[in-house]
Amino acid sequence: ASMGFKEAMRRASPVILEPMMAVEVETPEDYAGNVMGDLSSRRGMVQGMDEMVGGGKIIKAEVPLSEMFGYSTTLRSMSQGRATYTMEFKHYSEAPKNVADAIITSRSK
């Protein structure tokens, strides 16, 4: 039975899914470039940017949950405490090959 299961798994071509988060960052305009760069470095995809009433920017992005750990500290540091963010689950997405390979390697040990 276990050999049958292993063979079925090989034929099925399974993938690893990761949770993607909808992230909105409210930041003064001076820090918008740094915020977008940081989100991109976390494998995020910036979806758009809106103007805030009274100045500032609202940056909308989709970022893997695994890349968001420690983000609040980084955001506070880069904006001198003036930016805030919210995050909520959006959907699951297939993990990139390098990320999936790292997960498989760590679980194989």
- Is 4 domain-assigned? no
Amino acid letter, residue 61? A
Q: What is the pTM assigned to this prediction?
A: 0.82
Q: Range of 28's domain?
A: 17-108
Burial of 24 (0-12, 13-18, 19+ CB in 10 A): middle
Does a structural domain hold residue 88? yes
Give the span between the Cα atoms of 21 and 61, in whole angstroms. 8
- Tell whether 95 is covered by a domain: yes
Both tokens of 16, joined, read 């690893």
Q: What percent of the chain has pLDDT over 90?
A: 72
**Which pLDDT tens digit goes with each residue over 8-60?**
878 888 889 999 999 999 999 999 999 999 999 999 999 999 999 888 999 99
Does any domain span residue 6? Answer: no
Determine the pLDDT at residue 39: 97
Report if residue 12 sits inside a domain. no
